[in-house]
């Protein structure tokens, strides 16, 4: 079978969440971080013919760069990557070596805040957090507007960069660590629960990300 660029990009993104992955038969890919505070899922065009696990996902993905247009044949204990007379055999790992997500996706226990965020909104805020060395990305509700802000919640005089993304009657701040915001470039529908979990749903991937200490909601 062929693996499309879109699916390879999904797997590359998943490798930033967890270096290992257990792939189930079918066309749904899922991963969870070792700390179990980030869960991601994508439905792809390819249907994988069987369950298998990869311990070093980046290493596996690196095989694609060795070939121009490879075919993948998934055997019982290994995948064979081939093109013409050239072949590479990559052995699966024991699934017990991989932190795997729960069988069912998370259901948000409540949905206090909802808004749309463009890929440009998030890219600019994440870049500002990097450039200004700010430790937090905050979804904030104040003065009738929702903003996504790069800041330091421990420092009242912190530098900040924010993008307005919606309106609200509530007052809140939901705190995230930039290193947990592994979002692939896309537009997202964002929903946040005051119970400590958020949902980012894009065209390609959806993520569930835990909020951090310092989050609060006043409806």
For domain 5-97, the CATH class is alpha beta
Residue 28 CA: distances (Å) to CA of 54, 69, 133, 150: 16, 23, 36, 33
Task: Give CA torsion, residues 19, 22, 27, 33, to 10 deg.
Answer: -50
Q: Smallest Cα–Cα separation from 12: which of 58, 53, 48?
A: 58
Nearest to 40 by CA among 215, 212, 210: 210
Residue 213: count other Cβ atoms within 10 Å of its Cβ: 7
The pLDDT profile of the chain, 219 residues, written as one tens digit per residue, is 999 999 999 999 999 999 999 999 999 999 999 999 999 999 999 999 999 999 999 999 998 889 999 999 999 999 999 999 999 999 999 999 999 999 888 899 999 999 999 999 999 999 999 999 999 999 999 999 999 999 999 999 999 999 999 999 999 999 999 999 999 999 999 999 999 999 999 999 999 999 999 999 997
Question: Could you tell me which residues are beta bridge partners of residue 89?
Answer: 80
End-to-end CA distance of the chain: give it in Å, rounded: 51
How many other β-carbons are positioned within 10 Å of the β-carbon of residue 33?
A: 18
Residues 6+ apart with CB under 8 A from 63: 70, 81, 88, 90
User: pTM for this structure?
Assistant: 0.94
**What is the gyration radius of the CA atoms in the chain, in angstroms?**
20
- pLDDT for the residue numbered 5: 93
pLDDT value at residue 37: 96
Residue listed under structure tokens 């990097």: 130
How confident is the model at residue 219, as a pLDDT?
Answer: 79
Number of helices (H), then strands (E), in the chain? 3, 16
CATH class of the domain at 113-218: alpha beta
Beta bridge partners of 104: none
Q: Domain residue spans in the chain?
A: 5-97, 113-218
Equal CATH topology for 5-97 and 113-218: yes
pLDDT of residue 76: 93
């Amino acid at each position: 079978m062929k693996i499309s660029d879109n699916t390879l990009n999904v797997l590359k993104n998943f490798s930033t969440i967890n270096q290992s992955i257990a792939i189930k038969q079918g066309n749904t890919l899922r991963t969870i971080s070792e700390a179990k505070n980030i869960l991601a899922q994508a439905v792809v065009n390819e249907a994988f013919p069987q369950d298998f696990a990869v311990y070093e996902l980046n290493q596996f993905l690196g095989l694609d760069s060795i070939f121009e247009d490879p075919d993948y044949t998934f055997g019982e204990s290994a995948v064979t990557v081939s093109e013409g007379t050239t072949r590479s055999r990559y052995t699966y790992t024991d699934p017990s070596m991989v932190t795997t997500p729960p069988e069912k996706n998370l259901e948000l226990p409540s949905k206090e805040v909802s808004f749309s965020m463009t890929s440009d909104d998030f890219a600019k805020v994440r870049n500002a957090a990097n450039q200004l060395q700010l430790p937090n990305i905050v979804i904030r509700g104040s003065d009738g507007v929702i903003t996504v802000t790069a800041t330091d919640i421990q420092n009242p005089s912190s530098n900040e960069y924010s993008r307005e993304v919606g309106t609200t009657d509530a007052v809140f701040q939901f705190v995230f660590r930039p290193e947990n915001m592994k979002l692939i470039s896309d537009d997202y529908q964002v929903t946040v629960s005051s119970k400590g979990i958020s949902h980012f749903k894009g065209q390609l991937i959806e993520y569930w990300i835990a909020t951090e200490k310092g989050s609060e909601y006043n409806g």
